[in-house]
């Protein structure tokens, strides 16, 4: 995915059917946010750019007196999405603030490092419960179900890793006393 891969988040979301910018953001927040987030500040400028390029088209769809624009894929947009999906390889980028904190935690006292790992575990447990709730709803289908399975497995692994790290840090704290 090229820098600013919000293009493909939008094209992918619109492959499910027409949506407003708000609906795209809601879809992202309930699905891809667990591995690829997009903000309103990224979505709306990208919608304008994609429309200028002829990859999507817009239609006014006022709701209850509110101005609303719904976007849909053009044939060129569907071709762009399919071309990207068929490209070999995929970029890989992890943005994990908890791991970033842990990386720099040497600036803290040892018992505070333990707390950073504990907080990381608690956050992963919270996300795992969200993913399991999605799984229980049975809404994930086909390739989406595979992505959900990956998310659940990776969070289970991370929680186990955090517990192990907490145990090791606890032993080090005891030896230091």
* Contacts of 60 by beta carbon, 8 Å cutoff, 6+ apart: 67, 68, 69
Phi, then psi, of 60 in degrees rounded to 5: -70, 135
The separation between the first and the last C-alpha atoms of the chain, rounded to the nearest angstrom, is: 49
**Per-residue pLDDT band at 176 (split at 50, 70, 90):** low
Model confidence pLDDT, tens digit, residues 61-81: 777 777 889 999 999 999 999
Specify whether the CB–CB gap between 56 and 45 falls below 8 A: no
pLDDT for 31-54, tens place per residue? 888 888 889 999 999 999 999 999
| pLDDT value at 89 more than 80 | no
How do the domains of the chain map onto residue ranges? 6-86, 97-176
Using alpha carbons, list the distances in angstroms from residue 96 to 12, 34, 87, 100, 143. Answer: 24, 11, 26, 6, 24
Spell out the residues 6+ positions from residue 162 whose beta carbon is closer than 8 angstroms to its own. Answer: 117, 118, 120, 121, 124
Model pLDDT, residue 137: 87
Query: What are residue 70's DSSP bridge partners?
Result: 20, 59
**Fold of the domain built from segment(s) 6-86:** Arc Repressor Mutant, subunit A (1.10.10)
pTM of the predicted protein model:
0.77
Residue the block writes with tokens 């999906």:
85
Residue of 36, 35, 26 lying closest to 4 (CA atoms): 36
């Amino acid at each position: 995915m090229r820098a600013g891969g919000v293009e493909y988040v939008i094209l992918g979301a619109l492959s499910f059917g027409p949506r407003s910018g708000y609906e795209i953001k809601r879809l992202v927040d309930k699905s891809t946010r667990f591995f690829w987030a997009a903000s309103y500040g990224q979505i709306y400028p990208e919608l304008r750019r994609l429309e200028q390029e002829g990859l999507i088209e817009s239609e006014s769809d006022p709701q209850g007196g509110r101005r609303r624009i719904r976007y849909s894929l053009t044939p060129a947009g569907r071709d762009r999405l399919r071309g990207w999906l068929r490209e070999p390889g995929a970029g890989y980028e992890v943005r994990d603030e908890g791991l970033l904190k842990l990386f720099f935690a040497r600036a803290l006292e040892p018992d505070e490092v333990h707390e950073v790992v504990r907080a990381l575990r608690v956050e992963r447990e919270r996300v795992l419960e969200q993913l399991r709730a999605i799984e229980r709803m049975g809404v994930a289908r086909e390739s989406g179900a595979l992505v959900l399975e990956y998310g659940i497995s990776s969070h289970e692994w991370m929680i186990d890793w955090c517990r192990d790290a907490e145990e090791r840090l606890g032993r080090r704290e005891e030896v230091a006393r």
